[in-house]
Structure 1
Amino acid sequence: MSNGNGSNPILAFAVGALLVAVCGLGYLAYTDQPPFGPDEASVTIELPDVSVDEG
């Protein structure tokens, strides 16, 4: 006796893997960078020059 839902886990896995690959390649084509990002940080913090009087 089957449950009748007709799902195939191997087909679902293959379609999911294909979807992830297409999304990754689309991101790569759109940004010219791999989805996992650069190896170094791209954030810089610039503080103003403040003179501190000692005394």
Structure 2
Amino acid sequence: MAEDTRSGGGNAGIAFIVGGLVVVVAIIAWFMFANGGAPTAPDQVDVDVSLPEVSAPSTSGGA
């Protein structure tokens, strides 16, 4: 009987997927480490938060 000489057919799909993942990771790394040309945030941000004063409920047990 003749031996089956086909090989590597399924590995091409896996290599394509792994290559695509490498490209995606490289793009994410570019934006994270090189700032990707994105605008920078200001050095200081002033935020004024004023909450309303809430009185505690009465604890007198008069009924």
TM-score where L is the length of structure 1: 0.49
Please tell me whether Structure 1 or Structure 2 has the larger radius of gyration of its CA atoms.
2
| Bigger relative contact order, structure 1 or 2 (CA pairs below 8 A, ≥6 apart) | 1
TM superposition score normalised by structure 2 = 0.43
